[in-house]
Amino acid sequence: MIISYDFGHMANGADTSANGIVYEYAEIRRYAPVAIQVLEQAGHKCINCTPIQSGISLNESLAYRVNKANASGSQLHLCFHINAFDGSVHGAEVEIASDAGARYGESVLTEICKLGFTRRGVNRPSLYVTKHTNMTAILIEPFFCDNAEDCKIYNPVTLGNAIAKGVLNVIGGNYKPLDNGAFAPQQININNIQGSVSMNPIRMGENSPRVRLLQSILSVLIGGISIDGDFGQGTYNAVVRYQKIMGISADGIVGNQTIDTLLNDLRHGWFKA
């Protein structure tokens, strides 16, 4: 199956993300790539419909997602979010716009709640993305970023695995969850990779632990990349995309300028992708 998806709100502009105990923009880019990787490993094609422009209006952001999804030929669209209120509300919910969406929503929500999150239900608000996409669409709000109980339960790997399992329960495919060691960007040794790149830039064709670290960083910042330690075409494309977004030389080589920019974004928690 072809699955389109988008990573919720943006880092800046009118379509900005919620901030609480954890930051919605950053955490979506931690848990959602896990779900996408598991779905791809199960044989499904996943297409990222997240806007790459920064500082755009809300209408521009929503239209980009819907238009790209509608042009992708997908049969399912996943919209990844994190909820927020005033710190007192907790739990998981999935938003839908159709009976077909309800089947996916119930399955995904069931798997999320197995992690310990309170079940808030599958709901039908009138949301732009679920309403205007041509295919079945669900919007996933797995927890509240400003609630201490939810944030204590939250783990990006187990959450991403749960969402993927919920989808695969409906569409089929071999479910092979990632383990925490396969996706742990918060444990990156920044000094090691920065010093390593200074001596020897990372290039296409390399297979090494530092490539895995690079892939983990890119997964946090822009998502949609496998974390396998192999600098192949997918990693090259992600590097070039990031370089273009940041306005630096888009040569696909991770030298001092690229790694310094990546690590600055990672440290400060704001990104343009």
Determine if the pTM surpasses 0.75.
no
What integer pLDDT is reported at residue 12 of this predicted model?
55
What integer pLDDT is reported at residue 190 of this predicted model?
55
Specify whether 232 is located in the same domain as 145.
no
CATH number where 257 lies:
1.10.101.10
| 179 belongs to a structural domain | no
Query: Phi/psi zone of residue 60: left (φ > 0), alpha (ψ -120 to 50 degrees), beta?
Result: alpha
Specify whether 93 is located in the same domain as 32.
yes
What integer pLDDT is reported at residue 95 of this predicted model?
97
Specify whether 201 is located in the same domain as 134.
no
DSSP single-letter state for residue 58 = H
Residue 230's DSSP bridge partners are 207
**Average pLDDT of adjacent 10-residue blocks, the chain of 273 residues:** 88 64 82 91 92 78 94 97 94 96 98 98 94 97 96 94 98 90 48 69 91 84 80 94 85 92 69 41
Do residues 212 and 229 touch, judged by C-beta distance below 8 A? yes
What integer pLDDT is reported at residue 61 of this predicted model?
87
Specify whether 164 is located in the same domain as 248.
no
- Look at the chain and report how many structural domains it folds into: 2
| 120 belongs to a structural domain | yes
What integer pLDDT is reported at residue 142 of this predicted model?
98
Handedness of CA 227, 200, 270, 133 (dihedral sign): negative
* CA angle (107 as vertex; 169, 147 as ends), nearest 5: 130
What integer pLDDT is reported at residue 264 of this predicted model?
75
What integer pLDDT is reported at residue 84 of this predicted model?
92
Both tokens of residue 102?
């309800």
The string of pLDDT tens digits covering residues 92-149 is: 999 999 999 999 999 999 999 999 999 999 999 989 999 999 999 999 999 999 999 9
Helices and strands: H and E segment counts in the chain = 10, 6
Specify whether 154 is located in the same domain as 257.
no
Which letter, b or e, does each residue of 65-91 get, where b requires 16 or more Cβ atoms within 10 Å of its Cβ? bbebbbebebebbbbbbbbbeeeeebb
Specify whether 163 is located in the same domain as 31.
yes
| 247 belongs to a structural domain | yes
What integer pLDDT is reported at residue 184 of this predicted model?
44
What integer pLDDT is reported at residue 270 of this predicted model?
46
Distance CA 49, CA 201 (A): 30
What integer pLDDT is reported at residue 187 of this predicted model?
43
What integer pLDDT is reported at residue 271 of this predicted model?
45
- The boundaries of the domain holding residue 228 are 184-268
Distance CA 221, CA 216 (A): 9
